[in-house]
Structure 1
Amino acid sequence: MKQIKKTKEPQSFSEWKAKANSDWKPAWENLQNPEKVDILEKLIEDQHGICCYCEARISVESAHIEHIVPRSIDIRKRLSFSNLLASCQKETQKGDPLTCGKSRGDWYDKDFYLNPCDENSRKEIIYLLDGNVTVQNKNFKIFIEKINLNIESKKRARSNVIDIFTDLDTSDAQKILDVWLSEKVYHPYISAALTAAKELCGIEY
């Protein structure tokens, strides 16, 4: 996972919460647009346009707001911007395999949840050249399983990115990565690309 560096919450969200008075308290259940879409847009911007977990390309139309500590576990963090992420799979069809936030549901174990905002979490995830994802410490395998990162569609998407680097020389691979990492929106599955560049082309980032 690419580490997410959070910025300030949208001003509209701050102003909405500041309206609290003796008759009305801000709550997740009464959060509506435009504040809600402003939050999602800011989360996607902070994440450079990719899902917090799988790194698929996301947009306001395709993403949903994910709580690091689920709403059912800690009511105090429901409206904390630092507790919010943007995850893929806003809508699913019957029979679609769930992944990322949709697959995780309300699961949270502070000892085994890998927070995408944490540098140590980024280092824990290992991207393999066959498109699979695993972890350094086997105790974190539960995280990979809970967010279902190894479903076939995700493996295939990562493999397609990895294949780009198969026959590239170091110079060409470097040019591609320089572009992908400099743009406002990262290339989807950028961590798989970084792994491929290192393993196949000898490029360290």
Structure 2
Amino acid sequence: MKYIRKTTEPEVLANFKAQANEDWQPNYELLRGEDKKQFHQHLITEQGHICCYCGERIVRTDSHIEHFQPQTEYPHLELDYFNLLASCQQKIQPKEPRHCGMGKGDWFDDRLLVSPLIADCGEFFEYTVDGQILPTREPEKAERATETIERLSLNIRKLQATRASAIEGIYGEELELILSEDEIDKLIHYYSQTDNEGYYQPYCQTILYMLNQEKMDRFK
């Protein structure tokens, strides 16, 4: 999970909400058409084109607008910009496993759900070379991490495989990284930043964890 730094509410959403009057009150169901498409794309761009939960590459046609605190329980937040994210999956195909926002559904527990809107969200999780996501061993964070992984189905076979593929892209088939400390630092910098077009690399947080562990094990 990568920290999402929210920016200023985009004009398209602000203008939609500004139409409110005595006879008409905007709600999420009324956000449609081009306005919704523009807002959805804004969220994707803000996140560096990766899912707010798993970190895979997303596009508008295969992702959805996610209410971090669900509309069913928090209707007053349905158009709150700071409650709206972009999550992978849109139309679920037959037998396709649900995960991330689709897996979470209407569940929310502020004490147990790790939010991608907190700066240290990445510190709640660890990763293995075969693509597993695990809770941190820090006791004060482990329970939240465990519940988040389970509720969002972050450790299903599909996500393990794609994370493992991303790791192999750095380590090679032998899963052995033979680089100098300076070379590792350059990779850490690369995966910490968006490219010139504003894209993070898919599963960048997974790669950053692996690189930082490699650096600690070999050079500290």
Query: Is this a same-fold pair by TM over 0.5?
Result: yes
Matches within 5 A, 1:92-131: 92-131=92-131
**Residue type of the partner of 1:188?**
P
The aligned residue for residue 179 of structure 1 is 190
CA distance in 2, matches of 1:200, 1:158: 17
Tell me which amino acid in the other structure corresponds to 2:205: S
1:67 partner amino acid: H
* Aligned partners of 2:64 and 2:87 also within 8 Å: yes
Question: Which position in structure 2 is the counterpart of 1:36?
Answer: 36
* 2:217 maps to 1:189: no
The runs of 4+ residues in structure 1 deviating greater than 6 Å are none
How far residue 29 of structure 1 moved from its aligned partner, in angstroms, is 1.3
Instruction: Percent identity, please.
Output: 32
Say if 2:194 and 2:201, in contact at 8 Å, map to a contact too.
Answer: no
Q: Is structure 2 residue 169 aligned with structure 1 residue 155?
A: no
Deviation at 1:28, TM superposition (A): 1.0
Distance (whole Å) between structure 1 residues aligned to residue 120 and residue 142 of structure 2: 15
CA offsets 1:38-77 (integer angstroms, 9 cap, x no match): 2111111111110000000001111100011100011110
Whether contact under 8 Å (1:128, 1:195) holds in the other structure is no
Amino acid aligned to 1:99: H
CA change 1:177–1:80 in 2 (3 A) is same
Identify unmatched segments of 5+ residues in structure 2: none
1:12 aligns with 2:12: yes
Q: How does 1:44-59 map to 2 (within 5 A)?
A: 44-59=44-59
Q: How many residues align?
A: 204
Give the superposition deviation at 1:201.
4.4
Residues in 1 aligned to 2:118 and 2:80: alpha-carbon distance in whole angstroms: 17
* Helix, strand or coil at the partner of 2:33: coil
The answer on whether the counterparts of 2:63 and 2:88 sit within 8 Å (CA) in structure 1 is: yes
TM-score of the aligned structures, taking structure 2 as reference length: 0.86
Shift of 1:160: 1.6
Q: 3-state DSSP class of the match of 2:60?
A: coil
Unaligned runs of 5+ in 1: none
